[in-house]
Structure 1
Amino acid sequence: MPTADLPLFPLSTVLFPGGLMSLRIFETRYLDMIRDCARHGSGFGVCVILAGNEAGDPAVPAAVGTLAHIVDFHVLSDGLLGIHARGSERFHVQRTHVRDNGLIHGDVAFRAESGIEPVPPEFTLLATILERFHEKAGGEHAQVERGRYDDAAWVGYRLAEALPLDRADQQRLLQLDDPIDRLKLLMYLLLRFQNA
């Protein structure tokens, strides 16, 4: 499978395909990365941090992440650059290298998504929970067309964002290629909450 060179942004959170993320950009390496992405219309990779911190020395990123595309820029009240980025394709990092400015780049292979698969009857509870959550929480998904709740991948990703899961569980959900396997794991995690 061919690889692509992608700047990586290790963060303390998981970005799922279709998800929206807000970021404060203040380190020079990331300001340069955002400028280059905006100039070329390209994206950057978001990977959860396995070791290290978001700021300072380069952190160790997880091997599976999500390509992010900038959808909006703004200046924050503290004068820093704020961006909104939307997740698209998942990728697997084959190897990494650190540039002179401390920015991590990865040779990544993009992971194919399966086509739209309907939510199986045994998992319709998950779609219902997600729909009720969106109705109460509002936001960009509150007015989404009803048909989205029949798409197993979309339901899995949105529920993985909505539930109060730890990073390790979110990363496990991101790494799963089969949307039905993702729903199975979400059902298990939901039952774990009930029994806690």
Structure 2
Amino acid sequence: MTNFIPLFPLELVPFPGEKLNLHIFEPRYKQLIGDCVAQGKPFGIIAVINNKLMEYGTLMQVAEVKKLYEDGRMDIATRATEVFRVLELVKDLPDKLYSGAIVTYPQNEIVVNMPALQPVLRQIQELLLMLQSPKAFPKPDNELCSYDVASMTGLSMEEAYDLLQLLREDQRIEYLRRHMQKVLPVVKEMELLKSKIKLNGHFRELKSLGFEEE
């Protein structure tokens, strides 16, 4: 299936199912969101990486306008629904400040595969414990898929975009597993460094070495 959607370029990669709060203040995007709310239509967030507009993005539905300011700014709650791929950019729209695109929706496997995902969940729990973070999984474990936990793994923009292009659950789980295998040793080393700093008064003032400053 192909159709036209308005585009909202951001340095951000939402995953299907993710809830995202946005503050809308630029005139073109106030118009874009206003049109989407009035017509009950979705819009697309497409990643901008190194000042380049990428090919894949995420379809977003406006769930609620939380606050509408007198000058037209808005606080909105949105939900990501599915992955799209841009076929053709449409930069000039009649009477519109924003751009759009003709997009297609590639077949994307979104399933629960707990046996494969369980090792990744353990790695994430270990990471959260080291970071002393109270963040919990958004669903019961037996309902989770890779998209539900990807934002808890510390992916860079480039890595998140790589994950967005993977359209099978087993591929995404393997990507996250390998990512966590790289991240955990780094965090453990930083935790060891923090403990050494605390034990040595000479280094106590070198706060920039602490993990939370990174």
TM-score, normalised relative to structure 1: 0.80
CA contact (8 A) 2:66 2:76 kept: yes
The runs of 5 or more residues in structure 2 that have no matched partner are: 187-214
Residue 192 (structure 1) aligns with = 182
What is the deviation of 1:115?
Answer: 5.3
Cα 1:131–1:147 shift into 2, 3 Å: farther
> Which deviates the most, 103-112 or 124-133?
124-133
TM-superposed CA distance for 1:72, in Å, is 1.4
Q: How large is the RMSD of aligned CA atoms in angstroms?
A: 2.5
2:157 corresponds, among 153, 162, 167, to 167
Higher relative contact order (CA 8 A, sep 6+): 1
Matches of 1:78 and 1:174 in 2, distance apart? 37
Name the SS of the counterpart of 1:92 in structure 2. Answer: strand
AA matched with 2:154:
P
Letter in structure 2 aligned against 1:31: K
Match of 2:134 among 133, 136, 145: 136
Match of 1:44 in 2: 43
Structure 2: how far apart are the matches of 1:194 and 1:116?
A: 26
Post-superposition offset of 1:48: 0.9
- Compared with structure 1, are the counterparts of its residues 31 and 78 closer, same or farther at alpha carbon in structure 2 (3 Å cutoff)? closer
2:143 aligned residue (118, 141, 148): 148
Structure 1 residue runs without a partner (length 5+): 53-59
Deviation at 1:130, TM superposition (A): 5.1
Counterpart residue number, 2:98: 103
Q: 1:188 to 1:131 in 2, by over 3 A?
A: closer
Q: Quick one: percent identity of the two aligned structures?
A: 24
**Equivalent runs, 1:1-196 vs 2, <5 Å:** 2-52=1-51, 60-75=52-67, 80-99=73-92, 101-114=96-109, 116-121=111-116, 123-129=117-123, 136-138=134-136, 141=138, 144-149=139-144, 154=145, 156-196=146-186
Q: Deviations over 1:155-195 (max 9, x none)?
A: x1122111221100000011100111111111111111133
Amino acid corresponding to residue 63 of structure 1 in structure 2 = E
**Count of residues in Structure 1 that have an aligned counterpart in Structure 2:** 178
CA displacement 1:111-146 (0-9 Å, x = unmatched):
22225242334x41213455786x93258x2xx344
Residues in 2 aligned to 1:49 and 1:115: alpha-carbon distance in whole angstroms: 25
Range 19-28 or range 73-82, more displaced = 73-82
Q: 1:102/1:32 Cα in 2 relative to 1: closer, same or farther (>3 Å)?
A: closer
Q: Distance in 1 between matches of 2:141 and 2:171?
A: 22
Q: 2: distance between equivalents of 1:166 and 1:115?
A: 22
TM-score normalised to structure 2 length: 0.74
Deviation at 1:85, TM superposition (A): 0.6
Larger Rg: 2
Q: Report if the CA contact (8 A) 1:130-1:158 is conserved.
A: no
